[in-house]
Amino acid sequence: MNRVIVIVGPTASGKTALSISLAKEMNGEIVSADSMQIYRYMDIGTAKPDKEEMSGIRHYLIDEVNPDEEFSVARFKELATRYIDEILEKGKQPIVAGGTGLYINTLLYNIDFSETVCDWELRDRLKKEAQEMGNDYLHEKLKSVDPVAAQRIHKNDVKRIIRAIEVYEYSKKTISQHQEVSRQIPSKYKFYTYGLKMDRERLYNRINQRVDIMFERGLVDEVKSLVNMGYDKNSIAMQALGYKELLLYLRGEITLEDAKEIIKMGSRRYAKRQITWFKKTEGVKWIDLDLEHDINKIAKNIENDIATNGNFL
């Protein structure tokens, strides 16, 4: 069976550096599983690796769509599978790396979204309900039809709440039921999944430092450029952490220092949710970065682990 390596973990934990080191070690190419790096022109705020960082390693699912384009988890599954197959056909090792838990689970559990449809009118109506009645109202609506999904999806994750309601409206089956059925179909890949973890305080310090570096590299100018290109608060991607706060700053609603602190706090909260998500993901082998700091050594250890069919780490 074709093997696929998956690297997961919270934001700022070092997934990009490890995946690139691993690709060099194992003649690999990388498929990004990051829901923000798919957008063009959004480089600094998404911590997208630049050409120098990529070190000549081919990356997929980066700069895939414009910031005002919809990109669904179903689209991710379709493209990720296509790119993994392309990499395998070249005789190279596919490495999936990213922190978007839903994207990762879609691959690992072979979740199929082909039965579901898109209803833009329903989505717009539900979005308006959230704006007028509040996120709690929409979350309660989901709870009434799919309590399992409501327990899993945070009340502020409006996009996923809307998607779950939409699936139920059209199929009269919950998104949880769709996922359970599709999970029973085995994947055509053998996944080797590794998670990165470290002391929480150290991780939070790395996150704060990363946000500072983003500002030093010109995050404010990046957001200004996006606004000048016509991407405003109504663009899908501009509602993301790091961008929506700077839109508030540019409109004079908050100070730059406040925007920076809100981004840091939001990033730490996001990391906490990622840790919770991946702890529940089956089959993850955790690598403690407090015990082993050398990324290249970790890459070699992963290679040895796969070579021994999971008996090394």
DSSP assignment of 204-229: HHHHHHHHHHHHHTTHHHHHHHHHHT
User: What proportion of the chain, given as a percentage, has pLDDT over 90?
Assistant: 70
Q: What's residue 115's pLDDT? A: 56
Instruction: Quote helix, strand, coil % in the chain, to nearest 5.
Output: 55, 10, 35
Q: How big is the CA angle at 83 (ends 11 and 72), to the nearest 5 degrees?
A: 60
pLDDT, tens only, 46-75? 999 999 999 999 999 999 999 999 888 889
pLDDT, tens only, 119-168? 777 888 888 888 888 999 999 998 998 898 888 888 888 888 988 888 88
Q: What's residue 46's pLDDT? A: 97
pLDDT, tens only, 278-294? 999 999 999 999 998 89
Q: What's residue 217's pLDDT? A: 97
Q: What's residue 283's pLDDT? A: 93
DSSP E strands, the chain: 2-8, 28-32, 59-60, 93-97, 189-197, 284-288
Instruction: Tell how many helices (H) and how many strands (E) occur in the chain.
Output: 14, 6
pLDDT, tens only, 24-33? 999 999 999 9
Q: How big is the CA angle at 82 (ends 78 and 84), to the nearest 5 degrees?
A: 120
Q: How far apart are CA 14 and CA 10, in angstroms?
A: 9
Place of tokens 């959230």: 130
Higher pLDDT, residue 310 or 39: 39
Say if residue 116's pLDDT is above 60: no
Say if residue 204's pLDDT is above 70: yes
Q: How far apart are CA 237 and CA 235, in angstroms?
A: 6
Mean pLDDT of the chain: 92
Region 308-313 average pLDDT: 75
As a three-state string, the secondary structure of 7-28 is EECCCCCCHHHHHHHHHHHHCE
